[in-house]
Amino acid sequence: MSALSLEFLGTGTSQGVPVIGCGCSVCTSSNPKDQRLRTSALVRSESGTVAIDCGPDFRQQMLRAGVNQLDAVVLTHEHMDHVSGLDDLRALQFLQKRPTAIYCTERVEIRLRQQFAYAFSEKPYPGAPQFELHRIQAGVPFDLAGETWMPFVVVHGTLPVLAFRIQSMVYITDASAIPDESLIHVKNARHLVLNALRIEPHYSHFHLEQALEIAQKAGARNTWLTHISHHLGLHQEVDALLGPGVQLAYDGLKVTE
């Protein structure tokens, strides 16, 4: 089993933190852990590097992480804060001299072909991004960059989205429920990444209490909370209240399998 690491490229909600025009204590905090780009992650193994999601901060995230080679992008779902940075893959494509492999469901592929129609036209504009699409589906594992990825369904409001297990690392974002049949993939993870939007309940995301309940039920050794809004509170204050083995993730944090 090869060494595996996950870097949090972004841990913020769809608006990021700070939020434009907001003067709350989180948005005006000088603590860099309170400054959150849109949610994304980088999975590195001995055989390659894979991004999970590709939102509007992707360029900034790649520069900060020092990435000059990317084997693929795996998408959880088609919302703009998770796919709108795909055009920025052009720089890596020029460097690597090949299209970027994109792993996604059929529904997400349909959306990408609409959203980035210029990249899929019969005569694409010179310099347009080039995507090599690979369809994946829940419950069917696939091999990527030397690792076996197990996609499974979580529910985002009413929308089914994908979560992933790689070795004993589990990545879940934009979820408000985990179906019973998916819980097997969450159990006994060494590292569980889980969204926790805010203190108050939300219709399409776990709030803090729900996330803590799931972490306990999962029996994860370490739980890292992500997709955090400014409504959750200051990083230092909230993190101090969490139980053993549960921490707020922050941009740039790296965890190793």
- List, for residues 163-215, the tens digit of each pLDDT value: 999 999 999 999 999 999 999 999 999 999 999 999 999 999 999 999 999 99
**Token representation of residue 1:** 């089993």
Indicate if the alpha-carbon torsion angle 252, 83, 75, 197 is positive or negative: positive
pLDDT mean over 106-116: 97
Rounded Cα gap, residues 151 and 164, in angstroms: 5
CATH of the domain at 136: 3.60.15.10
What residues are paired with 48 via a beta bridge?
A: 45
Largest CA distance in the chain: 56
DSSP character at residue 254: E
Q: What is the CA radius of gyration of the chain?
A: 17
**pLDDT tens, 1-58?**
568 999 999 999 999 999 999 999 999 999 999 999 999 999 999 999 999 999 999 9
Q: Are 211 and 238 in contact (CB under 8 A)?
A: no
Task: Please report the pLDDT score of residue 1 as a whole number.
Answer: 56
**Cβ-defined contacts of 26-34 (< 8 Å, 24+):** 26/230, 26/232, 26/233, 26/234, 27/230, 29/234, 29/235, 31/234, 31/235, 31/236, 32/250, 32/251, 33/235, 33/236, 33/248, 33/250, 33/251, 34/234, 34/235
Rounded Cα gap, residues 31 and 163, in angstroms: 30
Q: How many helices (H) and strands (E) does the chain have?
A: 7, 14
Q: Are 57 and 10 in contact (CB under 8 A)?
A: yes
| Beta strands in the chain, from DSSP E residues, in sequence order | 4-10, 40-45, 48-52, 72-74, 100-104, 131-135, 142-144, 147-156, 159-166, 169-171, 191-195, 222-226, 246-248, 254-256
Task: Please report the pLDDT score of residue 230 as a whole number.
Answer: 98
Q: Are 223 and 215 in contact (CB under 8 A)?
A: yes
Q: Which of 12, 67, 73 is nearest to 39 (CA)?
A: 12
Q: What range defines the domain where residue 51 resides?
A: 4-256
Task: Please report the pLDDT score of residue 219 as a whole number.
Answer: 93
**pLDDT tens, 89-100?**
999 999 999 999
pLDDT mean over 111-133: 93
**What size, in residues, is the chain?**
257
Query: How many folded domains does the chain comprise?
Result: 1
**pLDDT tens, 63-84?**
999 999 999 999 999 999 999 9
Q: Which of 162, 160, 181 is nearest to 172 (CA)?
A: 162
What is the pTM assigned to this prediction? Answer: 0.96
Indicate if the alpha-carbon torsion angle 67, 102, 255, 8 is positive or negative: positive
